[in-house]
Structure 1
Amino acid sequence: MSFEAAVHAQAIELNKMSLEMTAAAGAGHPSTAMSLGHITTVLMFHTMRWSPDYPSYPTSDRLVLSEGHAVPIVYAAACKLGVVVGKDPEKRRKLQLSDAKKLREWHSELDGHPNPMEGFPFFDAATGSLGQGLSVAAGLGEAARLDGLDKKIYCIVGDGESREGQITEALDFIMDHNLVNVLPIFNCNEYGQADRVSPQQSAERLAARLAAMGFNVKNIDGHDPKQIKAAFDAFVENTGGGAKPMAVVARTVKGWGATGMHGGGWHGKPATGDALKKALTELDEKRVQLTSSLTSADSFEIQPPPQAAPKEPSQGEMPSMSSAMKKFDMESVLHTGKLATRRAYGIALKALGQVNDRVVVLDADVSNSTFADMFAKDPDLKERFVECKIAEQNMFSVAAGLSAAGKVPFCSTFAKFVNRAYDQIEMAINSGANLKIVGSHAGISLASDGPSQMSLPDVAWFRSLSTMKDHRGNPGCYVLQPADAYAAYALTGVMAEYEGACYMRTLRPDTEFLYNDDVVFNLGGFEVLQEGRDVVLCAAGYMVHEANKALELLDKAGISATLVDLYSLPFDNEKLMDLIGANNGYVLTLEDNYGGGIGSAVADAITESGDGFTLQQMFVRMIPKSAKTPEEMLQMTGLTAADITKSVMKMLQVV
């Protein structure tokens, strides 16, 4: 059998299909796809252990296409192999060759960039926003390690893409955790979109850099079947106690096989008309040159995935917060009557981890502040704690990979530092990731550290995700702001039970208990702390306590106020509108962040209801600076109980 000839023949066929499908779509990236024809062939037809009939089988080797715009080459292979696709597991079908011509169509599983939620389960995560796929692959590799699975994760990264800082974060993570089951494959075709890649991302520089980081580097010709196979074989055999992570640097040609499409000028441009005919003709000529030794007996045999039985997860009932604190010798804290919500989160993580072995906790070098270290220090849980260091973008994409492998990842860092990973979080949500995000030190109440440590636009951004529906028909992300420790503890458990994305803000300072173990918290819910008749105060998190102080001042002014702890976005619109209606249609929203959060959500609900209600919003309207106490911060930003009272009196025209 001539392996080389068989690979050339198949790669040429896939390149032709990539040209034809992008031409039919009128869009796409055929030249990038063509640089990967040989690598894709060796991976999908030979090296990877998987089944086209069950591409998402738990023990299958995985391919993450970080260079997502090159996806036509994978789609071409999938059509040739009859890979099973479909959103509904009960109605899945095998791809046909004719499906290739449906690339990017509305009802096609072949989306413009990889996305498993569109019915292509061969992939684990949505990619295409460059720089993120290697982190996802690392998450898949970490999950396989936790489950004791002999599973290989291959990840194709573009050379231009490798300039993204997240790629370095992912490489560091792979080395830190010695993920020898993850193989970064750098596709060095020398061209980006507008121009050549920088010399800093040349194959030579990449190989030297990877070697300096500690990788065992294979520098190969990405169109030489022998070299590709040898590199992948070495990776498969790279096991044992002394093994260290490998990486492949593949020198390739953009538009390989069609000289008119080589190099720059064709990025994101389908070939049509005479250009398409010429490219197809050149590829046919290339086939004649390279496959003379091919015989009818030459074929590929895909190896099935390992038959190890996936570990069955165990899940028990989470104890109440009081019970957990007694168990953890923290009962004395209960008697103080107050506790920081960030600390309650740590207690909840530890309690949750002991009853749910799917829970994995990730942190970005601040676990002693987020209190995720309570999970990490437990001897029975520490194996499921993943330290990501100061690399938040990588952390959230690693979590997406863990989620794809069936884990329930909780990611915690300062809420301010969550901001730098908005793109990664959105891509994870697009992937259907079961992602739990916890941002500590939220809002202005951390005071003395100043605005560089304060999360102020976060509620507005996450709230925008709560306004759309995910692939399951649920809010894209729930935004949670517990006001006390009992709420934070309970909502941590609620997040774990929910299949989808959640973001919870926790606070630095201790706050007084408002609730007890008997109060039930739900996604989409809110709590009425006091019922009145004149005005509704809607607050969340730290501002619930300041609103509580304002109640006494309002009462002295003869105003009967209703206080709502609006701890969840979205919330039950109809129920809240009924409450506002019972208070003469007056509502004041309070939040310790920039606008666009709770106030905007209530405004939208009022608009949708058609009711003639009066709304006033109080939020942070300036760039704050450091102050010694939360009380000083509230004075600085005009959010004290006295300020709240003045706003209500003005709204109600009470002199």
Structure 2
Amino acid sequence: MSIKDQTEHIEIAELGQQLRVDAVRAADAAGSGHPTSSMSAADLAAVLLTHHLSYDFDRPDHPGNDRFVLSKGHASPLLYAMYRAAGAIDDDELLTFRRSGSRLEGHPTPRIPWVDVATGSLGQGLPVGVGMALAGKRLDRIPYRVWVLSGDSEMAEGSVWEAVEHAAYENLDNLTLIIDVNRLGQRGPTRHQRDLAAYGRRLRGFGWHTVEIDGHDVGAIDAAYTEARATQGRPTAIIAGTRKGRGVAAVEDREGMHGKPLPDAEAAVAELGGLRFARVDVTKPAETRAPHKDRSGHLALPRYEVGESVATRDAYGQALTALGTAYGDVVALDGEVGDSTRTELFAKEHPDRYFECYIAEQQLVAAAVGLQARGYTPFACTFAAFLTRAYDFVRMAAISGADLNLVGSHSGVAIGQDGPSQMGLEDLAMFRSVHGSTVLCPCDAPQTAALVAGMAGARGIRYLRTSRGGTPVIYAPDEEFPIGGSKVLRSGNDDVATLIGAGDTVHECLRAAGILAAEGIEVRVIDLYSVKPVDAETLREAAHETGCLVTVEDHRPEGGVGDAVAEAFADGRPAPRLVRLAVRNMPGSATPDEQLAAAGIDAGTVAAAVRLLSTES
């Protein structure tokens, strides 16, 4: 498939010019965009499209398709120009770039069937590509290749180097990184400018095979791609020296041209040789059969006896393992804390579907995004506090429309002596703010197991919060917990308030209710296990009947259970009195009971708050 003669060499160079012209035209039609960043990589794209990419544009779900990830998503005009050259879109659609209603957005999203994941937040393409390559090598066992086109600016992102190390560790020889070293970033020169060797030294230090080339020499590009495909046992990085705005003197290698249409698009098109309509017959992959991701097995969730003490993290690991036995598409990832999160239980039973990502939370989430893009159902887990490091990947996963299960263990002050650095106290707010997300906070083992099973069949970003210490089992094994629901655990006609907990604080609310009942004060107790979507109907009924809602959460007051409850009354209807108990202090090291008391979310404090309310009323 290499370039065979000079005529073919010229034709591919002409295709590169066509891609540049189309990038210029698309940005000019939109009045915005990044044509110069597209123009630098046009020759790299032309050779890939004509000689090395194996892809059936009529069957984007073909299991043998190569995957192409445009990590430098701002260069979307180049991607769309490639689609026109491949016959996937026509010229009219190309010129709808960035218009309202067009699927050709400013940065690519899976609204386009040939885009697997949204890009544009730099430093994410390679980490997600690692996940796709892992699927191909370890699960699918199909010889498709993952090609990632990256800019040089984004090589400063730490997430890139998490991916670089992980790819080398996993010997991902089905992964090729193409770095478009065009020297210029948004505001001026990049850190290493044209020093290709600087990138090469770093990548080779991690164990990558590297090739340094002139990114405008189509023969050298072709030879580099051929070398990458022949390299075994390690990933390859092609470090291509290019010139931003290549081919148009007014903008080539000039600062201040980033992110702008060309000043004179018509003159630029003429300088590039005019409009072209070449079509590329992209090589289609051989017929292959995707591995059967069987979901016909019997799901036998673990069962627990009422009254026994079980940590919800233990129930998570046990339920996940059961899910893996029943469902062949379920995979698990962990950030080197599997003995604490209990993901190790899955790893022991299903080692072929377990991925250890080590202490690299961005790569953890990115790999999960890549795996779900290949049809798997990932559960990625680490401490709730550490998922904050990967928040941008979660945000972009939502833009991708990804189906992703994330689990944060060791939540809240209830973890005890480890102190505040290990306490997830912002996670509910973080995940509630994600578009279309589901946020779950179970209080006991049966509820946890049922919710884990429910997550496997849900859509979008799903987050489950688990706790470190054992909590009493209060639900029978066959109790159902639909997403969006809640459980009324205690109620009566004389209730003067409603206590609302989630996770550990459900038990504090029940204890507080017992203390108050002994004093002749009756309260309702709601287990708000689904924090998003929230059970507004049950909350409104409780507000109507008791007049006062008291939320108790092992979380900061901003964005958690209290806000979720308040939003149920944000449509203008009469709102009840709302009292919010949450973690407002900065915890230190102490026992779990001491932590809950210091934060003011223990049973005694809850009971005291209700007494005060009763006195005031």
- In structure 1, what is the equivalent of residue 9 of structure 2? 4
Selected match of 1:142 from 102, 113, 134: 134
Contact kept in structure 2, 1:46 and 1:301, CA below 8 Å: no
Instruction: Confirm whether residue 17 of structure 1 aligns to residue 22 of structure 2.
Output: yes
Cα distance in 2 for partners of 1:59, 1:563 equals 54
- In structure 2, what is the equivalent of residue 457 of structure 1? 426
- In structure 2, what is the equivalent of residue 254 of structure 1? 244
- In structure 1, what is the equivalent of residue 265 of structure 2? 276
2:408 maps to a residue whose letter is: G
Contact kept in structure 1, 2:215 and 2:221, CA below 8 Å: yes
- In structure 1, what is the equivalent of residue 400 of structure 2? 431
Instruction: Confirm whether residue 527 of structure 1 aligns to residue 487 of structure 2.
Output: yes
Contact kept in structure 1, 2:182 and 2:193, CA below 8 Å: no
1:582 Cα offset (Å): 2.0
Cα distance in 2 for partners of 1:651, 1:340 equals 33
Instruction: Confirm whether residue 215 of structure 1 aligns to residue 208 of structure 2.
Output: yes
- In structure 2, what is the equivalent of residue 199 of structure 1? 192
1:612–1:169 distance in 2 versus 1, CA, 3 Å:
closer
Query: When the two structures are superposed, what TM-score results if normalisation uses the length of structure 2?
Result: 0.95
Selected match of 1:408 from 360, 371, 377: 377
1:300 Cα offset (Å): 4.7
Moved more, 194-203 or 368-377: 194-203
Selected match of 2:536 from 573, 595, 598: 573
Secondary structure of residue in 2 paired with 1:247: strand
Cα distance in 1 for partners of 2:252, 2:25 equals 17
Selected match of 2:594 from 604, 610, 632: 632
- In structure 2, what is the equivalent of residue 291 of structure 1? none
2:91 maps to a residue whose letter is: L
Contact kept in structure 1, 2:209 and 2:235, CA below 8 Å: yes
1:420 Cα offset (Å): 1.0
Q: Residues 75-90 of structure 1 correspond to what in structure 2 (within 5 A)? A: 75-83=80-88
Instruction: Confirm whether residue 497 of structure 1 aligns to residue 497 of structure 2.
Output: no
Selected match of 2:471 from 482, 496, 511: 511
Calculate the aligned-residue CA RMSD, in Å.
1.9
Cα distance in 2 for partners of 1:438, 1:624 equals 23
Selected match of 1:103 from 97, 102, 110: 97
Cα distance in 2 for partners of 1:307, 1:140 equals 19
- In structure 2, what is the equivalent of residue 337 of structure 1? 308
- In structure 1, what is the equivalent of residue 121 of structure 2? 129
1:40 Cα offset (Å): 1.0
Query: When the two structures are superposed, what TM-score results if normalisation uses the length of structure 1?
Result: 0.90
Secondary structure of residue in 2 paired with 1:130: coil
Selected match of 1:488 from 440, 448, 452: 448
- In structure 2, what is the equivalent of residue 245 of structure 1? 235
1:24 Cα offset (Å): 1.0
- In structure 1, what is the equivalent of residue 391 of structure 2? 422
1:234 Cα offset (Å): 1.9
1:299–1:53 distance in 2 versus 1, CA, 3 Å:
closer
1:148 maps to a residue whose letter is: R
- In structure 2, what is the equivalent of residue 114 of structure 1? 108
Map Cα deviations across residues 103-136 of structure 1 (whole Å, 9 max, x no partner).
Answer: 01121110110100x2x11111001000011011
Percent of paired sites with the same residue: 37
Selected match of 1:304 from 247, 262, 284: 284
Cα distance in 2 for partners of 1:350, 1:619 equals 33
1:464–1:106 distance in 2 versus 1, CA, 3 Å:
same
1:214 maps to a residue whose letter is: G
- In structure 2, what is the equivalent of residue 31 of structure 1? 36
- In structure 2, what is the equivalent of residue 293 of structure 1? none
1:299–1:257 distance in 2 versus 1, CA, 3 Å:
same
Cα distance in 1 for partners of 2:279, 2:565 equals 63
1:335–1:306 distance in 2 versus 1, CA, 3 Å:
same
Q: How many residues are aligned here? A: 605
Map Cα deviations across residues 67-98 of structure 1 (whole Å, 9 max, x no partner).
Answer: 11011111012123221xxxxxxxxxxx2111
1:463 maps to a residue whose letter is: R
1:278–1:40 distance in 2 versus 1, CA, 3 Å:
same
Secondary structure of residue in 2 paired with 1:365: coil
Q: Residues 136-215 of structure 1 correspond to what in structure 2 (within 5 A)? A: 136-145=128-137, 146-199=139-192, 202-215=195-208
Contact kept in structure 2, 1:127 and 1:133, CA below 8 Å: yes
Instruction: Confirm whether residue 388 of structure 1 aligns to residue 369 of structure 2.
Output: no
Cα distance in 2 for partners of 1:559, 1:519 equals 29
- In structure 1, what is the equivalent of residue 563 of structure 2? 600
Secondary structure of residue in 2 paired with 1:306: coil
- In structure 2, what is the equivalent of residue 90 of structure 1? none
Instruction: Confirm whether residue 317 of structure 1 aligns to residue 317 of structure 2.
Output: no
Secondary structure of residue in 1 paired with 2:143: coil
1:489 Cα offset (Å): 1.2
2:394 maps to a residue whose letter is: I
1:155 maps to a residue whose letter is: V
Cα distance in 2 for partners of 1:579, 1:335 equals 26
- Ranges in structure 2 where 5+ consecutive residues have no aligned partner: none
1:214 Cα offset (Å): 1.3
Cα distance in 2 for partners of 1:160, 1:228 equals 21
Cα distance in 2 for partners of 1:483, 1:15 equals 57
Cα distance in 2 for partners of 1:9, 1:70 equals 19
